[in-house]
Amino acid sequence: MKIYQKLIYKGTLTCISGLHIGDSKDFTDIGGVDSPVVRRKDNSEPYIPGSSLKGKMRCLLEQVAGENANGKCLNINSSVSRLFGGLQNKEIPQQPSRILVRDAFMNRDSADRFKRLESTDMPYTEVKFEDSINRITGVATNPRQQERVPAGAIFDLEFVINVVAPLDAGEEIVRGIRTDLESTLKKGIQLLNDDYLGGSGSRGYGQILIKLDWENTISKTYE
């Protein structure tokens, strides 16, 4: 097998509503939030892990196709497993992933704007207070604070697709593989735009808008 092309897609992800992708925290500081967002360690800016984007897109694509309902991500030689990879099953060998999803960092203009805002509760983020209500007594039973990236924040995106084919593949075969992989990526992005990213989507969190510059896709070839 040979890598014929690397296709690099750049774009942006805009938060339409507050976004929560959580970080682990063993304890809560006095006055701190119960559920913080994941942040970069070098400058404390929130970011979106590539694994969160990739995993949610794959999950949505498999749900629409009715594949891998057991969550085992087996290779069934479908458009989803051809792009995202799949584990070996009894009949088909393991398929490596053909897509690389970079961590998405805050756009510089967006980061500068939110850093200066006095209306945010914490650097770059907001804190939303939530509770669970007992349906019988009407009493709040589980007060908590969720940290969120505010609506309007913009992140820079980069996706890379490896177009891999047999060593003696002709141009038509390579072009067909590229079309298949690219169309799956486009469908995954559309599904994600129509769904949500991160936690608490059913409560309004995580509505996003991804826009990629398809016309200026960078195509790198290798000899």
Task: Give yes or no for a contact between 34 and 130, defined as CB atoms under 8 angstroms apart.
Answer: no
Q: What confidence tens digit (pLDDT) does each residue in 131-145 have? A: 556 566 655 555 578
Q: What confidence tens digit (pLDDT) does each residue in 169-186 have? A: 999 999 999 999 999 999
69, 94, 98: which is closest to 82 by C-alpha? 98
Range with the poorest average pLDDT among 55-59, 83-87, 182-186, 199-203: 199-203
pLDDT at residue number 42: 94
Measured distance CA(14)–CA(99) in Å, rounded: 22
How confident is the model over 5-33, as a mean pLDDT? 79
Centre a 10 Å sphere on the Cβ of residue 55 and count the other Cβ atoms it contains: 14
Q: What confidence tens digit (pLDDT) does each residue in 181-221 have? A: 999 999 999 999 999 999 889 989 999 999 999 999 999 99
Centre a 10 Å sphere on the Cβ of residue 31 and count the other Cβ atoms it contains: 6
Centre a 10 Å sphere on the Cβ of residue 186 and count the other Cβ atoms it contains: 13
String of b and e for 139-169 (b: at least 16 CB within 10 Å)? eeeeeebbbbbbeebbbbbbbebebbbeeeb
